[in-house]
């Protein structure tokens, strides 16, 4: 590992610098994303992460935070470092045998750390981006120890791999997909080296030959993964008996319980194509998806070329199996759950798949002109990632700054009218509808606190507290009184948009929708 980093230090430093360019706007402009407001000023211990099955985040918060508060800038900065560190570890584990050029290592690591759809979304959540970055590093290290166990057969390496992967899964269940993707990528690279007859042919030193090598690799890594997942579920089950469960995966992402499981499974399979080729579906689009689409198309062309070039159906079948498996691996958890509901932050293995695809494409092309053309195209794709990453954070900052302005105006009007929000809770009826602007959103990035859930009182009050206003949230009865009062009010900021009742201050933002009633009144 040390030798690898020394040999490719310029590529690794360059990819790290490129990563910080991608996150330049985020690091220099403070904003809060949806959910961040819950944690940045948390004043009491919370078991919410345990309820979601992410007990490693709870443990991290217990040791390194006060009640889960995150430190602005520091968390994001360290998260970027850890994510890049995981990329270096994967580059070492997967590429060392390939004897890559320095520029190939740069492309691998730079793409891995710059995909806006995934890395951009994860880093937007300062409440857990550092924890996820550490989990990615732990998962990458777990893969390295799995490799060492395969090569040296030391039991302690298997134990390290088990514990590191357990930590990763306990932080974010989708780390299973990252580990599976790494294993598939290793098999594909080894198989391509076998087909090419290069030095260090896998399995050459084994009695069972290459077939035995691949079988042992897959079964051993599957056993380590299964053991980690089983341990995770046992611990999670025991914690569930003590703290309860929010049914995070089972209730929201279990397609088998949706009624038509065949349709759910078909949609889960189709979702692989939707994401890989950035196909809009039901109003959802893949932010920065043009880069993913181009890379997927190039990889398909490359895979077809490799398939045709091989002689014999066994080798052709191997190429087909491992290339398809590489594309499917980031989605294995969601195929098991039969769900297509995958936000970018739920696909942490996708950047690894893309980085491996890019490396294989660059390795396969031999003609100097085509290689240079693909290098230029690869550089352009990285530029698009950097552009899209900075833009999505800029778009998000526009919405955040508008929310801050609205918060200041509302609180000014309340105080100017002589109302004391310290003594009475504030009820927000309706929402402030966002203006139509030529900006894009990615999951919660670009979401407004005043329009989320069509006006979620809990989020609005928490957000106002992050702006320095100790606002109390109105209860169900007070919201009901406020609703009755709105019949005699005008919509804020018109005069009469804020009214004080006997036990609540009413802010009338708009006519409440059915979603507002469901979120705030439980109807």
Average pLDDT over residues 57-71: 92
pLDDT at 204: 47
Structure tokens at 422: 């310290």
Q: At 422, is the secondary structure helix, strand, or coil? A: coil
Contact status, residue 183 vs residue 191, Cβ threshold 8 Å: no
When comparing pLDDT for 290 and 209, which is higher? 290
Q: List, for residues 79-90, the tens digit of each pLDDT value.
A: 999 999 999 999
Q: How many CB atoms lie within 10 A of CB 318?
A: 22
Per-residue confidence band for 418, with pLDDT thresholds at 50, 70 and 90: very high
Cβ-proximal residues to 209 (8 Å cutoff; 6+ apart), any chain? 203
In this predicted structure, which of 79-83, 181-185, 298-302, 433-437 has the lowest mean pLDDT? 433-437
Burial of 327 (0-12, 13-18, 19+ CB in 10 A): buried
Which pLDDT does position 199 carry in this prediction? 46
Q: Across the beta sheet with 426-429, what order do the strands follow?
A: 426-429, 505-508, 498-500
At a CB cut-off of 8 Å and minimum separation 6, what does 33 contact?
124, 125, 126, 396, 444, 445, 447
Average pLDDT over residues 87-102: 93
Binned at pLDDT 50, 70 and 90, residue 252 comes out as low
> What is the pTM for the complete model shown?
0.92
Residues 6+ positions from 253 with CB-CB distance below 8 Å:
334, 337, 339, 341
Mean pLDDT across the chain: 90
* Average pLDDT of the segment spanning 4-32: 95
Confidence at residue 442, expressed as pLDDT on a 0 to 100 scale: 64
Cα distance between residue 45 and residue 148, in whole Å = 40
* Contact status, residue 106 vs residue 166, Cβ threshold 8 Å: no
For residues 414-429, give the mean pLDDT: 94
Cα distances (Å, whole numbers) of residue 482 to 300, 400, 462, 488: 58, 27, 19, 11
Residue 59 has pLDDT above 50, yes or no: yes
Whether residue 15 is predicted with pLDDT greater than 90 in this model: the reply is yes
């Amino acid at each position: 590992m040390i030798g690898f980093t020394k040999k490719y230090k310029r590529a690794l430093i360059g990819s790290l610098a490129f990563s910080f360019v991608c996150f330049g706007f985020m690091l220099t402009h403070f904003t809060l994303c949806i959910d961040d407001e819950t944690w940045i000023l948390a004043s009491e211990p919370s078991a919410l992460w345990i309820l979601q099955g992410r007990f490693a985040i709870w443990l991290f918060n217990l040791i390194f935070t006060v009640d889960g508060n995150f430190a602005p800038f520091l968390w994001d900065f360290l998260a970027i470092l850890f994510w890049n560190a995981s990329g270096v570890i994967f580059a070492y584990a997967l590429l060392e045998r390939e004897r890559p050029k320095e520029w190939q290592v740069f492309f691998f690591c730079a793409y891995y750390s710059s995909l806006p759809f995934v890395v951009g979304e994860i880093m937007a959540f300062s409440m857990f981006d550092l924890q996820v970055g550490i989990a990615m590093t732990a998962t990458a290290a777990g893969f390295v120890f799995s490799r060492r166990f395969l090569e040296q057969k030391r039991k302690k390496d298997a134990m390290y791999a088990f514990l590191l992967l357990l930590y990763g899964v306990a932080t974010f269940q989708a780390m299973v997909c990252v580990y599976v993707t790494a294993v598939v990528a290793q098999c594909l690279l080894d198989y391509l080296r076998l087909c090419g007859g290069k030095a260090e042919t896998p399995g050459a030193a084994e009695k069972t030959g290459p077939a035995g090598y691949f079988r042992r690799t897959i079964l051993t890594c599957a056993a380590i993964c299964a053991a980690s997942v089983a341990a995770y579920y046992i611990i999670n089950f025991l914690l569930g008996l003590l703290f309860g469960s929010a049914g995070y995966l089972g209730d929201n992402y279990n397609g088998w319980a949706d009624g038509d499981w065949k349709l759910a499974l078909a949609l889960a399979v189709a979702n692989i194509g939707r994401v890989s080729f950035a196909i809009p579906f039901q109003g959802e689009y893949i932010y920065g998806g043009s880069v993913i689409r181009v890379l997927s198309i190039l990889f398909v062309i490359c895979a077809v070329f490799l398939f045709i070039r091989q002689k014999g159906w066994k080798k052709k079948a191997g190429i087909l199996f491992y290339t398809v498996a590489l594309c499917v691996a980031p989605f294995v958890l969601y195929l098991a759950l039969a769900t297509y509901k995958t936000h970018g932050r739920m696909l942490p293995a996708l950047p690894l798949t893309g980085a491996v695809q890019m490396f294989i494409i660059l390795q396969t092309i031999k003609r100097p002109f085509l290689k240079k053309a693909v290098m230029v195209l690869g550089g352009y794709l990285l530029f698009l990632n950097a552009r899209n990453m900075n833009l999505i954070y800029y778009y998000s900052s526009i919405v955040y700054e508008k929310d801050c302005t609205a918060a200041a105006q509302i609180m000014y009007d309340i105080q100017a009218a002589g109302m004391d929000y310290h003594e009475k809770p504030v009820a927000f009826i309706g929402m402030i509808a966002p203006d139509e602007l030529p900006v894009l959103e990615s999951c919660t990035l670009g979401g407004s606190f005043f329009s989320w859930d069509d006006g979620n009182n809990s989020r609005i009050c928490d957000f106002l507290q992050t702006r320095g206003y100790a606002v109390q949230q109105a209860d169900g009865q007070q919201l009901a009184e406020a609703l009755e009062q709105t019949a005699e009010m005008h919509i804020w900021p018109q005069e009469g948009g804020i009214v004080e009742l006997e036990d609540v201050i009413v802010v009338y933002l708009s006519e409440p929708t059915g979603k507002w009633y469901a979120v705030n009144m439980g109807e």
